[in-house]
Structure 1
């Protein structure tokens, strides 16, 4: 059975987009995204007027979000009050790609951490002060002596000690657990957004001149939120 085609962006998807941009990008990037969550398709001039960025500054933020495949843009030729034809850029969120891009990036980070943990596991964590033989975490179970309740070197029978140089490596092994814990809110939202089907009006919204809508004025309130 095909999923229902939604004509409005689900709140879970809005929260996901805001959470990701606020957590991993600058506040300026997050403000741009927040504007486009509230207003599906914004003219570049409107964004500049509202945020008080110069055009070059805004485009640097936009280009980052475009390169991450979070945003798309459409160019439109319009006629001004003097009858002059001018080109204007309109920006909107790339909902079709956003969820998949976030999944890919998180999976890439997770795989990298797992690889580092595997490398750390194979490194020496215990050392014999007598013969200076080293042992990994995977070998430590072979060193435990039931009669003495100590870890004994299998080469010279002295008690082995923890290799101080490996302490930092052990700390790194908890990184994956910390990563999963911190990213769990994003994973929850990703699961809620999985399989969502959006209408074409959301994926390719029509440009709107926000100066002629009450929503344009209301958007100024978000600046207070971000700069408190």
Structure 2
């Protein structure tokens, strides 16, 4: 009897897809969950998507390291020529999700650190820049205004509509390759009635709250994989349970 992946593993796949991806990606991944290995032409027929749309979705999922592909495969008895076969590699999927979650958290932490280097005040005369702490060291006792320590001129505050004045040593980060697995696309957790809980103002806290269900599933799956490995090391006669159940060719 062919093993199936642990329900927690498939639940993780569905949770990640619904949190980060549009419905067309969710539908394709659901078909892969139910079919293990499936030809691209079969997906087109099942989902009534155009070949171009199906290929675009599969290429994106493959680029995000969520699925695998075996190219130019000829299956006997199908009457079809060579084609691509896709399936979910659950170990690859989990590793990819862990990587993207870590990358998102590091990115937000870096953004938070960069924000502390912003200079919100500047002198309109000499154009020197001051951060919030430095500006408080030069205050007019009577007016309580921040003053330039060189020109003794009241400092101006950078307006929200103006470009941020940052440290000259700071350099812009390269633009990453667009992917649905980004912080901008993560959906907040919803209650049983479909309502969303109020999110904290801190972006990192919002991300952690949104990713809480996924993080819990990853912890459970890690514990499951550890237990399966311990069974395998015991050298029992029966084949140990594989929670990832790789598809058979």
Relative to the length of structure 2, the TM-score reads 0.59
CA distance in 1, matches of 2:6, 2:145: 57
Query: Where does the alignment leave 5 or more consecutive residues of structure 1 unmatched?
Result: 1-6, 145-149, 208-228
8 Å Cα contact 2:38-2:86 kept in structure 1: yes
Q: Deviations over 1:93-132 (max 9, x none)?
A: 0101111111111211221221121111122346799x99
Aligned to 2:37: 41
8 Å Cα contact 1:78-1:87 kept in structure 2: no
CA distance in 2, matches of 1:184, 1:160: 43
CA distance in 1, matches of 2:138, 2:217: 45
Query: Where does the alignment leave 5 or more consecutive residues of structure 2 unmatched?
Result: 165-200, 229-240
Aligned to 1:226: none
8 Å Cα contact 2:74-2:83 kept in structure 1: yes
Aligned to 2:248: 206
Report deviation, 1:188: 1.9
2:61 partner SS: helix
Change (3 A) 1:190 1:200: closer
Residue from 168, 192, 196 that aligns with 2:220: 192
CA distance in 2, matches of 1:189, 1:201: 13
Aligned to 1:77: 75
CA distance in 1, matches of 2:76, 2:40: 13
Aligned to 2:187: none
Change (3 A) 1:141 1:19: farther
Q: Deviations over 1:120-174 (max 9, x none)?
A: 1122346799x99865355588789xxxxx89779599999976549998xxx93
8 Å Cα contact 1:143-1:153 kept in structure 2: yes
The alignment's C-alpha RMSD in Å is: 3.9
Aligned to 1:116: 111
2:75 partner SS: strand
- The reply on whether 1:17 has 2:13 as its aligned counterpart is yes
Aligned positions of 1:95-114 closer than 5 A: 95-114=90-109
Report deviation, 1:55: 2.5
Change (3 A) 1:102 1:137: farther
8 Å Cα contact 1:78-1:86 kept in structure 2: no
Paired residues, number = 195
Aligned to 1:177: 205
8 Å Cα contact 2:135-2:147 kept in structure 1: no
Change (3 A) 1:186 1:166: farther
Aligned to 1:26: 22
Determine which structure has the larger strand proportion and give its number: 1
Aligned to 2:167: none
1:86 partner SS: coil
2:248 partner SS: coil
